[in-house]
């Protein structure tokens, strides 16, 4: 770091992504990516012809992509905003709705980026601890007098909030934006989508990274009523008008249209999740009831970090989050059947080592 960097940014604690090892080949269960490649229609769309057009700027309005997303959810393209990953969409939303006079309420244990964005944009967040069982204390999110940002289902806890609770939060914070990050909604839980008609302050954020096998393409979107979407467009056009490249745009259109492939991937992951939960419970793991593509699990007789380290030595990467309240847990992404079988086999060996 140089002495030139602004003091505010010197004090910033950047988001730490999960490891992306470039050398040794690990079984990668640490960043909630899909174990499956993108839809075959995506591979076809990224043709030599498309690549040959890279001399031209992409459509700054990303209209065809927004149309494809809107069609999927029965909305108008004007109700869809697209960004370079949902991280960028979240960033624009924090920039649009928060500053030192406009705070935001977030859960203590949730997606780590919310705190980073708050710091980056000079927003003092109101941080609400979760209940001891990792459920959300809904009452504390009612009538906050601030914007609210929640992930539903939540990460890393994997728990979903009933739609009724989401509605109470949106309704009682009517004077402020309530952002629901639905990164994992395709794997379980109830979407806030049906509430859009009724609530002009609701903004739903989603991603292609988890359920649509496009983490490397960087594509996320927001669904909301037109004025909120116009706000985000305004911020984006003042910062990075071409934030989605033309290849990703083409990929995003086809990934959204291929409903059959999408459904088959989800079905597989949800089946693996059920089998994995059963297998780990049989080994005395504790875990929450997952509505996502990962398990939030606590191994018997060792810390989360110890289990993480022992799996890593055996070529399997899971995510350990260093936070005092998460010490006995790891987050394990659901992979293919073969990957899950390998995880269970290695875990049995590890348990023999720690409980001789």
List of residues contacting ligand PLP (CB under 6 A): 32, 85-87, 111, 151, 155, 181, 183, 207, 209, 215, 220
- Which residue lies nearer to ligand PLP by CB, 87 or 231? 87
- Sequence-ordered list of residues with C-beta below 8 angstroms from that of 72, at least 6 positions apart, any chain: 256
Smallest gap from Cβ 239 to ligand PLP, in A, equals: 16
Instruction: Please say which residue, 310 or 331, places its beta carbon nearer to ligand PLP.
Output: 331
For residue 87, the minimal CB distance to ligand PLP (Å) is 3
Sequence-distant (≥ 6) Cβ neighbours of residue 52 within 8 angstroms = none
Position closest to ligand PLP via CB: 85
153/304 with CB nearer ligand PLP: 153
> Which of 39, 86 has the CB closer to ligand PLP?
86
**Minimum distance between the CB of residue 284 and ligand PLP, rounded to whole angstroms?**
28
Q: Which is nearer to ligand PLP, 244 or 302 (CB)?
A: 244
Contact 156, 120 (CB under 8 A): no
> Minimum Å distance from CB 52 to ligand PLP?
28
Quote the least distance from Cβ 56 to ligand PLP, whole Å: 25
**To the nearest whole angstrom, how small is the minimum distance from the Cβ of residue 24 to ligand PLP?**
24
Q: Between residues 290 and 347, which has the closer beta carbon with respect to ligand PLP?
A: 290
């Amino acid at each position: 770091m140089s002495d030139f960097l602004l003091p505010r940014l010197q004090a910033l604690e950047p988001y730490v992504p999960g490891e992306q090892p470039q050398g040794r080949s690990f079984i990668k269960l640490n960043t909630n990516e899909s174990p499956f490649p993108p839809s075959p229609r995506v591979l076809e769309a990224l043709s030599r012809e498309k690549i040959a057009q890279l001399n031209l700027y992409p459509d700054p309005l990303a209209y065809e992509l927004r149309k494809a997303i809107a069609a999927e959810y029965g909305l108008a393209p004007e109700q869809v905003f697209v960004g370079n990953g949902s991280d960028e969409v979240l960033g624009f939303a924090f920039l649009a709705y928060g500053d030192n006079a406009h705070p935001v309420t977030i859960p203590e244990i949730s997606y780590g980026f919310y705190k980073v964005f708050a710091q980056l944009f000079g927003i003092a967040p109101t941080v609400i601890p979760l209940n001891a069982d990792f459920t959300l204390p809904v009452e504390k999110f009612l009538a906050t007098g601030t914007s609210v940002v929640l992930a539903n289902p939540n990460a890393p806890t994997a728990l979903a909030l009933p739609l009724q609770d989401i509605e109470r939060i949106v309704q009682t914070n009517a004077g402020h934006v309530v952002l629901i990050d639905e990164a994992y909604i395709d794997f379980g839980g109830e979407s806030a989508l049906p509430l859009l008609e009724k609530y002009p302050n609701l903004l739903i954020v989603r991603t292609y990274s988890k359920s649509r096998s496009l983490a490397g393409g960087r594509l996320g979107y927001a669904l909301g009523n037109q004025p909120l979407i116009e706000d985000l467009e305004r911020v984006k056009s003042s910062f990075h008008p071409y934030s989605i490249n033309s290849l990703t745009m083409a990929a995003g259109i086809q990934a959204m249209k291929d409903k059959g492939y999408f459904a088959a991937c989800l079905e597989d992951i949800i089946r693996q999740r059920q089998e994995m939960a059963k297998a780990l419970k049989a080994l005395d793991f504790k875990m929450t009831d997952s509505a996502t593509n990962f398990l939030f699990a606590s191994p018997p007789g060792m810390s989360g970090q110890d289990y993480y380290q022992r799996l890593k030595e055996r070529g399997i990467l899971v995510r350990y989050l260093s936070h005092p309240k998460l010490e006995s847990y790891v987050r394990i992404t659901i992979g293919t059947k073969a990957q899950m079988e390998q995880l269970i086999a290695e875990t049995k060996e590890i348990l023999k080592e720690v409980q001789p």
